[in-house]
């Protein structure tokens, strides 16, 4: 297992181990590795999707499975890894089509966003306003939660109101860790000017 997970970031390693324990072992763990076929993997993916597992969870599971089968190939247990499963994301299309869609969850205007942020502050412990700021910042930049957690004062250009996303801060075994952004590059986005609400 250590060889199969070699080189992964701690947060990715944790996600892959969760995939191993929560999906791979219960579904495929009783099979000898040389009995693993693309058809069995295909049926397992369908079962995970029908059980309500999110696409990101299944993606991590398939990535973990690919690492295990590549290591088994190097160890001589398999002549070659099973072919990667393609097109499994289509399993979610019917559900997405019947849903309201992503635009159905969108807020109608900035005033509604501020009302939502203020409600969060009112409901938070000691009415901490930082939660409202984080919600508005996320909505105005389209940032991931890890990227928001990694924001530092020096990342904000207050002259042009640009945010230079240089890192993401995420939870990992042992605490929080900083790691590069997706794509390992610095991205610039318009930042929410705190004077907008005044």
Q: What is the pLDDT of residues 54-95, one digit of tens each?
A: 888 888 999 999 999 999 999 999 898 887 777 777 766 554
DSSP string, the chain: -TTTTTT--HHHHHHHHHHIIIIIHHHHTTS-GGG--HHHHHHHHHHHHHTT--HHHHHHHHHHHHHHHHHHHHTTS-SSPPPPP-SGGGGGHHHHHHS--GGGGS-SSHHHHHHHHHHHHHHSGGG-THHHHHHHHHHHHT--HHHHHT--GGGEETTTTEEEE--EEEEETTEEEEEPPTTSS-EEEEPPPGGGG-
5-59 per-position pLDDT tens digit:
888 888 788 889 989 999 999 999 888 988 888 888 888 988 888 888 888 888 8
Lowest mean pLDDT across 67-76, 86-95, 114-123, 160-169: 86-95
pTM of the model: 0.53
Domain boundaries, the chain: 10-98, 107-197
Structure-token pair, residue 84:
């990667």
CATH class as words, domain 10-98: mainly alpha
């Amino acid at each position: 297992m250590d060889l199969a997970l070699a080189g992964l970031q701690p947060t990715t390693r944790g996600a892959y181990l969760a995939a191993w324990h929560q999906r791979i072992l219960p579904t495929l763990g009783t099979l000898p590795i040389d009995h693993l076929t693309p058809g069995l993997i295909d049926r397992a993916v369908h079962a995970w999707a029908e059980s309500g597992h999110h696409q990101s969870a299944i993606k991590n599971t398939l990535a973990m499975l690919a690492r295990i089968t590549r290591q088994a190939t190097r160890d001589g247990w398999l002549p070659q890894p099973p072919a990667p499963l393609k097109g499994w994301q289509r399993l979610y299309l019917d559900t997405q089509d019947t849903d309201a869609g992503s635009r159905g969850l969108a807020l109608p205007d900035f005033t509604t966003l501020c009302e939502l942020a203020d409600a969060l502050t009112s409901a938070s412990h000691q009415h901490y306003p930082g939660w409202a700021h984080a919600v508005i910042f996320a909505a105005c930049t389209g940032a991931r939660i890890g990227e928001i957690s990694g924001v530092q004062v020096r990342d904000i250009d207050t002259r042009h109101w640009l945010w230079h996303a240089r890192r993401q801060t995420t939870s990992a075994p042992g605490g929080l860790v900083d790691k590069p952004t997706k794509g390992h590059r610095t991205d610039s986005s318009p930042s929410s000017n705190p004077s907008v609400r005044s």
